[in-house]
Amino acid sequence: MWPWSKIRKKNLEEVTNDSDSPAENEKKVLKGYLLLLALDICANFIARQVSQSEFKTRHKNWYYMLNVRPNTDMSATQFWERFTYELIVKNRVLVIKSDSDDLLIADSWVRNEYALYEDTFEGVSVKGYQFNRRFKMNEVIYLEYSTRKLDIAINGLYEDYSDLFTRLAAAIGRNGQIRGTLGISANVNMDDKDRGKLGDFAKKIFKSFDSNAVAVVPLTKGMEYKEHTNTTGTSNITIDELTKLKDDLVNTVADVLGIPTALLHGNRAELKDNITAFHTFCLAPLLKKIEDELNAKTVEPQNYSEETRIEVVGINKPDMFNLAEPIDKLISSGTYNPNEIRAKMGDEPREGGDEYVRTKNYETTLKGGEKE
């Protein structure tokens, strides 16, 4: 399982260790938030696209479950959004079918792997309820989204990004910080008790500066306060540097997942090409993986055919209006019949659509006396 699967917003404290220093714990928590931020943006983007897909099948019960209401608590859109998010962020997702024919996304489980028999799943938990039964592989929908490139990128880059982000945040925090020194006459003898009183006095000074618009601090004989805020320790680093670093981190994850970064940031330059690239390199392979798993678990091998299988048609479905002219040429030349074109467009076949048609301009006519 990928390292970020342990890091959730509700239990970020699990990534810390009591034996670590506060600075180390802060760094781990910051790394967790950075990791969640980048993955949330990319995973949610893909999940929203997948949730708009239509799952075509002639089986009415499966059509209703996959496209309308998978279970009593979720719509199909919500179900497929969470399904895709879990698949990308956790690198795996498990869906079981309850006794009431509800499709439920499991929160946790234990997979038992075998060499000569199908794997099983036990300890399956959904919303705090744990099933006592053992599920076989052919009874569940199980997918893994294994991307070795992403695993390597995350392991290496997040350490560097978290260090940079921590340093930049600290540098920005020092801008405008009140700094001062409290001088004491050298001939004053001080014990530990006096030093403690002096420390309390210094804290009161800085607290007064921090909480009051107008602050007046009394100084006793032998003491001198001098402020250095406008003379030392300032830097030119701004909050924009953090924004650029965060965007660069998101872009790194997006590149590995196959998402054009321009789509994430709302850049409309070369929009058509970016959408095509996203559909080709990210969405289409993911939908094909989901389609294959659904067909493997819902259709018996001996009954598999064009009519019984499940077909996933996503937002990458070809636009018939943009392809009207090429479609006309394919049909009029006799290369494809109307139903073959409809199938490629994700539409149902129509009666009489299996007949091939060829217009006169594609016919070859022979003049008298010529040999074939």
Give which of 249, 287, 334, 268 is closest to 51, Cα–Cα: 287
Question: Which pLDDT belongs to residue 87?
Answer: 93
pLDDT in tens, the chain (372 residues): 444 444 444 444 444 455 555 555 555 555 557 777 888 899 999 999 999 999 988 888 999 999 999 999 999 999 999 999 999 988 899 999 999 999 999 999 999 999 999 999 999 999 999 999 999 999 999 999 875 656 665 666 666 666 666 666 666 666 666 666 766 665 556 667 777 777 777 777 777 766 766 666 676 666 676 766 654 455 566 667 667 777 888 888 888 889 999 998 888 888 889 998 999 999 999 999 999 999 999 888 888 877 788 989 888 777 677 778 888 888 888 888 888 888 777 677 888 888 888 777 766 654 555 555
Residues in the chain: 372
- What are the sequence ranges of the domains in the chain? 1-91+145-175+235-315, 177-234, 318-372
| The token pair that represents 65 in the structure block | 């479950």
- DSSP state, 291? H
| The token pair that represents 37 in the structure block | 């931020």
d(CA 265, CA 371): 65
Question: Which pLDDT belongs to residue 83?
Answer: 97
Q: Under DSSP, is residue 118 helix (H, G, I), strand (E, B) or coil?
A: coil
d(CA 280, CA 316): 8
Give which of 169, 167, 152 is closest to 252, Cα–Cα: 152
Q: What pTM was estimated for this model as a whole?
A: 0.71
Angle at 72 between CA 67 and CA 73, to 5 degrees: 95
- DSSP state, 358? B
Helices (H), the chain: 22-50, 60-67, 76-90, 148-174, 192-211, 239-257, 261-264, 271-278, 284-298, 324-332, 338-344
Beta bridge partners of 311: 56
| The token pair that represents 328 in the structure block | 């006309």
d(CA 372, CA 360): 19
Question: What torsion do the CA atoms of 45, 36, 174, 164 make, to the nearest 10 degrees?
Answer: -90
Give which of 34, 140, 141, 50 is closest to 88, Cα–Cα: 50
Q: Under DSSP, is residue 2 helix (H, G, I), strand (E, B) or coil?
A: coil
d(CA 220, CA 191): 18
Neighbours of 255 (CB within 10 A): 15
d(CA 158, CA 226): 41
Question: Which pLDDT belongs to residue 210?
Answer: 67
Question: Which pLDDT belongs to residue 127?
Answer: 93
Write the CA distances from 222 to 131, 183, 188, 200, integer angstroms: 75, 8, 8, 17
- 37-64 exposure pattern, b = at least 16 Cβ within 10 A, e = fewer: ebbebbbebbbebbbebebbbeeeebee
d(CA 362, CA 303): 40
- The secondary structure of 42-67 as a DSSP string is HHHHHHHHHTT-EEE-S-HHHHHHHH
Dihedral of CA 275/277/278/284: which sign? Answer: positive
Question: Which pLDDT belongs to residue 129?
Answer: 94
